[in-house]
């Protein structure tokens, strides 16, 4: 894949990517490293995959560490920041990527489902961001992964998921207002259908989702990672939403 810059804009920076063992998170970790950043990634079950990402980052000449931290656990969500700072010596960039997608008719979603999705997609993001704010220097970046379903819900089944991700838009804008005077930015990236384990392009809903995009195809994790990495280097962009969905919500 080609990069849009040739300079290593992020040299000397340290990043934490939650859910960095697979999919969009793994692609982001590699892309940030290619731009010069050291990277910590969290995972829950994917220890080997996370260690593979670490090796790939190290092969690029950057430092990396894999941390087991369940975003659904309040202590682990915040503890990932402490561990990342301990391993890398600093924290400049937080990418709130870890998330779960639970779709289904509204009557089938139980209170336990609601608690689980909100714990990972909302409370975990809040607590990790809260912990990061204590470490981020001037020039710090918080980049959160939402979904294009916060802008346009294409069909039934998305109540819980869209509700959880919509909370992140409010969090992002409020963080931008609160942290602006410290020179820290907060932005949110909304992917459309991206070919990952969560939403495989060859899955039962793949062709339908692809047909709903203007470009007629799924996106790749690398295409989302490119926008996240751009925001990691952007100084005068904050409180903003970026849709990377091939025109799914056009």
Ligand X SMILES: NC(=O)c1ccc[n+]([C@@H]2O[C@H](COP(=O)([O-])OP(=O)(O)OC[C@H]3O[C@@H](n4cnc5c(N)ncnc54)[C@H](OP(=O)(O)O)[C@@H]3O)[C@@H](O)[C@H]2O)c1
Q: Collect all residues with Cβ–Cβ distance below 8 Å to 137 and sequence separation of at least 6.
A: 90, 92
Q: In terms of residues, how long is the chain?
A: 250
Considering only residues 30, 33, 43, 84, which one is a binding residue for ligand X as defined by CB under 6 A?
Answer: 43
Residue 72 within binding range of ligand X, rule CB under 6 A: yes
Residue 246 within binding range of ligand X, rule CB under 6 A: no
Q: Which stretch binds ligand X (CB under 6 A): 5-13, 43-51, 83-91, 132-140?
A: 43-51
Diameter of the chain measured on Cα atoms: 51
Residue 233 within binding range of ligand X, rule CB under 6 A: no
To the nearest whole angstrom, how small is the minimum distance from the Cβ of residue 120 to ligand X? 4
Q: Collect all residues with Cβ–Cβ distance below 8 Å to 246 and sequence separation of at least 6.
A: 192, 193, 213, 214, 215, 216, 217, 218, 219
- Give me the residue label for tokens 């952007």: 234
Q: Kindly report the number of other CB atoms within 10 A of residue 64's CB atom.
A: 26
To the nearest whole angstrom, how small is the minimum distance from the Cβ of residue 158 to ligand X? 11
Between 9 and 166, CB nearer to ligand X: 166
Active site residue 161: yes
**76-105: contacts with ligand X (CB under 6 A):** 97-101
Considering only residues 10, 34, 37, 46, which one is a binding residue for ligand X as defined by CB under 6 A?
Answer: 46
**149-208: contacts with ligand X (CB under 6 A):** 191, 193-194, 196-199
Q: Collect all residues with Cβ–Cβ distance below 8 Å to 73 and sequence separation of at least 6.
A: none
**Binding letters toward ligand X, positions 110-129, x by CB under 6 A:** ----------x---------
Considering only residues 10, 14, 16, 18, which one is a binding residue for ligand X as defined by CB under 6 A?
Answer: 18
Q: Which stretch binds ligand X (CB under 6 A): 40-48, 133-141, 152-160, 172-180?
A: 40-48
Q: Kindly report the number of other CB atoms within 10 A of residue 175's CB atom.
A: 24
State how far the Cα of 158 lies from the Cα of 173, in Å rounded to an integer.
23
Q: Are 239 and 172 in contact (CB under 8 A)?
A: yes
- Give me the residue label for tokens 């804008």: 173
Q: Are 29 and 57 in contact (CB under 8 A)?
A: yes
**Binding letters toward ligand X, positions 199-228, x by CB under 6 A:** x-----------------------------
């Amino acid at each position: 894949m080609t990069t849009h810059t040739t300079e290593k804009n992020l040299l000397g920076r340290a990043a934490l990517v939650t859910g960095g063992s697979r999919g969009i998170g793994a692609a982001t970790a590699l892309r940030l490293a290619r731009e010069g950043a050291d990277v910590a990634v969290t995972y829950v079950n994917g220890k080997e995959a996370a260690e593979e990402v670490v090796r790939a980052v190290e092969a690029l000449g950057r430092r990396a560490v894999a941390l087991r931290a369940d975003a659904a656990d309040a202590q682990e969500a915040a503890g990932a920041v402490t561990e990342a700072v301990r391993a890398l010596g600093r924290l400049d960039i937080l990418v709130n990527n870890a998330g779960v997608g639970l779709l289904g008719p509204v009557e089938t979603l139980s209170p336990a489902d609601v608690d689980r999705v909100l714990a990972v997609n909302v409370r975990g993001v809040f607590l990790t961001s809260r912990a990061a704010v204590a470490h981020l220097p001037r020039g710090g970046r918080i980049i959160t992964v939402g979904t294009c379903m916060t802008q346009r819900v294409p069909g039934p089944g998305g109540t819980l998921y869209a509700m959880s991700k919509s909370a992140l838009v409010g969090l992002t804008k409020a963080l931008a207002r609160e942290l602006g005077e410290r020179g820290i930015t907060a932005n949110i990236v909304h992917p459309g259908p991206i070919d990952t384990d969560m939403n495989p392009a060859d899955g039962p809903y793949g062709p339908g989702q692809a047909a709903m995009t203007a470009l007629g195809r799924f996106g790749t994790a690398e295409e989302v990672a490119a926008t996240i990495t751009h925001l990691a280097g952007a100084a005068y962009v904050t409180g903003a939403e970026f849709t990377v969905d091939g025109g799914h919500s056009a």
